[in-house]
Structure 1
Protein backbone atom coordinates (compact mmCIF):
# COMPACT_ATOMS: atom_id res chain seq x y z
CA UNK A 1 0.00 0.00 0.00
CA UNK A 2 2.83 2.36 0.91
CA UNK A 3 4.48 1.83 -2.47
CA UNK A 4 1.20 2.44 -4.31
CA UNK A 5 0.78 5.78 -2.55
CA UNK A 6 4.39 6.68 -3.33
CA UNK A 7 3.84 5.65 -6.98
CA UNK A 8 0.96 8.13 -7.19
CA UNK A 9 3.12 10.84 -5.60
CA UNK A 10 5.94 10.03 -8.01
CA UNK A 11 3.64 10.37 -11.02
CA UNK A 12 2.41 13.71 -9.64
CA UNK A 13 6.02 14.90 -9.24
CA UNK A 14 6.80 13.86 -12.82
CA UNK A 15 3.78 15.80 -14.04
CA UNK A 16 4.96 18.80 -12.00
CA UNK A 17 8.27 18.91 -13.87
CA UNK A 18 6.53 18.69 -17.24
CA UNK A 19 6.72 14.97 -18.01
CA UNK A 20 3.79 13.45 -19.92
CA UNK A 21 2.40 10.91 -17.47
CA UNK A 22 -0.68 9.90 -19.44
CA UNK A 23 0.67 6.46 -20.39
CA UNK A 24 2.94 5.50 -17.50
CA UNK A 25 2.90 2.09 -15.89
CA UNK A 26 4.86 0.65 -13.00
CA UNK A 27 7.36 -0.79 -15.49
CA UNK A 28 7.99 2.50 -17.33
CA UNK A 29 11.58 3.68 -16.96
CA UNK A 30 12.72 7.27 -16.69
CA UNK A 31 14.49 6.78 -20.02
CA UNK A 32 11.21 5.76 -21.66
CA UNK A 33 9.76 9.04 -20.40
CA UNK A 34 12.57 10.74 -22.34
CA UNK A 35 14.07 12.16 -19.17
CA UNK A 36 17.73 13.12 -18.93
CA UNK A 37 20.08 13.35 -15.97
CA UNK A 38 19.06 16.96 -15.31
CA UNK A 39 15.35 16.12 -15.10
CA UNK A 40 16.16 13.12 -12.89
CA UNK A 41 18.09 15.43 -10.58
CA UNK A 42 15.16 17.86 -10.55
CA UNK A 43 12.87 14.98 -9.58
CA UNK A 44 15.24 13.99 -6.76
CA UNK A 45 15.21 17.55 -5.40
CA UNK A 46 11.40 17.69 -5.47
CA UNK A 47 11.21 14.30 -3.73
CA UNK A 48 13.62 15.43 -1.02
CA UNK A 49 11.74 18.69 -0.47
CA UNK A 50 8.36 16.98 -0.45
CA UNK A 51 9.01 14.39 2.17
CA UNK A 52 12.66 14.16 2.95
CA UNK A 53 12.98 10.96 0.93
CA UNK A 54 16.18 10.65 -1.02
CA UNK A 55 16.39 9.45 -4.58
CA UNK A 56 20.00 8.32 -4.48
CA UNK A 57 20.85 5.51 -6.84
CA UNK A 58 18.08 6.12 -9.34
CA UNK A 59 19.18 5.98 -12.95
CA UNK A 60 17.44 6.55 -16.25
CA UNK A 61 16.84 2.78 -16.40
CA UNK A 62 15.08 2.66 -13.01
CA UNK A 63 11.40 1.74 -13.36
CA UNK A 64 8.76 3.87 -11.69
CA UNK A 65 7.89 0.91 -9.47
CA UNK A 66 11.52 0.60 -8.34
CA UNK A 67 11.69 4.34 -7.73
CA UNK A 68 8.44 4.30 -5.73
CA UNK A 69 9.73 1.43 -3.60
CA UNK A 70 13.00 3.26 -2.98
CA UNK A 71 11.23 6.50 -2.07
CA UNK A 72 8.77 4.68 0.20
CA UNK A 73 11.66 2.94 1.98
CA UNK A 74 13.58 6.19 2.37
CA UNK A 75 10.52 7.94 3.80
CA UNK A 76 10.08 5.39 6.60
CA UNK A 77 11.35 6.48 9.99
CA UNK A 78 14.69 4.82 10.67
CA UNK A 79 14.95 2.76 13.84
CA UNK A 80 17.88 3.35 16.15
Structure 2
Protein backbone atom coordinates (compact mmCIF):
# COMPACT_ATOMS: atom_id res chain seq x y z
CA UNK A 1 0.00 0.00 0.00
CA UNK A 2 1.32 3.45 -0.91
CA UNK A 3 1.98 5.99 1.84
CA UNK A 4 -0.73 8.34 0.56
CA UNK A 5 -3.28 5.54 0.77
CA UNK A 6 -2.21 4.74 4.34
CA UNK A 7 -2.47 8.42 5.30
CA UNK A 8 -5.92 8.64 3.71
CA UNK A 9 -7.18 5.59 5.59
CA UNK A 10 -5.84 6.87 8.93
CA UNK A 11 -7.04 10.45 8.24
CA UNK A 12 -10.57 9.23 7.63
CA UNK A 13 -10.36 7.51 11.04
CA UNK A 14 -9.56 10.87 12.64
CA UNK A 15 -5.77 10.73 13.09
CA UNK A 16 -4.52 14.30 13.08
CA UNK A 17 -0.94 13.51 12.06
CA UNK A 18 -2.17 11.42 9.13
CA UNK A 19 -4.39 14.32 8.06
CA UNK A 20 -1.36 16.60 8.06
CA UNK A 21 0.77 14.07 6.16
CA UNK A 22 -1.99 13.52 3.60
CA UNK A 23 -2.30 17.27 3.10
CA UNK A 24 1.46 17.45 2.49
CA UNK A 25 1.11 14.76 -0.20
CA UNK A 26 -1.53 16.85 -1.96
CA UNK A 27 0.46 20.06 -1.46
CA UNK A 28 3.59 18.63 -3.07
CA UNK A 29 2.01 16.15 -5.48
CA UNK A 30 3.56 13.12 -3.78
CA UNK A 31 1.69 9.92 -4.61
CA UNK A 32 -1.19 12.00 -5.93
CA UNK A 33 -1.75 14.83 -8.36
CA UNK A 34 -0.98 18.18 -6.73
CA UNK A 35 -4.22 19.65 -5.42
CA UNK A 36 -3.92 22.79 -3.30
CA UNK A 37 -7.64 22.82 -2.50
CA UNK A 38 -7.48 19.30 -1.00
CA UNK A 39 -4.23 20.17 0.79
CA UNK A 40 -5.90 23.16 2.44
CA UNK A 41 -8.90 21.07 3.44
CA UNK A 42 -6.77 18.37 5.05
CA UNK A 43 -4.42 20.88 6.75
CA UNK A 44 -7.47 22.62 8.23
CA UNK A 45 -8.89 19.27 9.38
CA UNK A 46 -5.53 18.38 10.93
CA UNK A 47 -5.44 21.69 12.78
CA UNK A 48 -8.99 21.20 14.07
CA UNK A 49 -7.95 17.73 15.26
CA UNK A 50 -5.04 19.22 17.23
CA UNK A 51 -2.07 18.95 14.85
CA UNK A 52 -0.24 22.25 15.40
CA UNK A 53 2.27 21.56 12.58
CA UNK A 54 -0.57 22.34 10.20
CA UNK A 55 -0.38 26.03 11.19
CA UNK A 56 2.82 26.73 9.29
CA UNK A 57 1.73 24.55 6.37
CA UNK A 58 -1.51 26.52 6.05
CA UNK A 59 0.41 29.78 6.20
CA UNK A 60 2.77 28.58 3.48
CA UNK A 61 -0.10 27.49 1.24
CA UNK A 62 -1.88 30.83 1.55
CA UNK A 63 1.36 32.74 0.98
CA UNK A 64 2.91 30.71 -1.85
CA UNK A 65 0.33 28.44 -3.49
CA UNK A 66 -2.81 30.54 -3.71
CA UNK A 67 -3.11 32.98 -6.58
CA UNK A 68 -3.21 35.81 -5.79
CA UNK A 69 -1.39 35.23 -2.49
CA UNK A 70 -3.50 35.73 0.62
CA UNK A 71 -0.86 37.39 2.80
CA UNK A 72 -3.27 38.53 5.51
CA UNK A 73 -4.67 35.02 5.90
CA UNK A 74 -1.18 33.51 5.84
CA UNK A 75 -0.06 35.86 8.59
CA UNK A 76 -2.90 34.67 10.84
CA UNK A 77 -1.46 31.15 10.73
CA UNK A 78 2.11 32.31 11.34
CA UNK A 79 1.26 34.36 14.43
The answer to whether the superposition gives a TM-score over 0.5 is: no
Q: Which has the higher helix share?
A: 2
* TM-score calculated relative to the size of structure 2: 0.34
* TM-score calculated relative to the size of structure 1: 0.33
Which has the higher relative contact order, 1 or 2, with Cα contacts under 8 A spaced 6 or more apart? 1
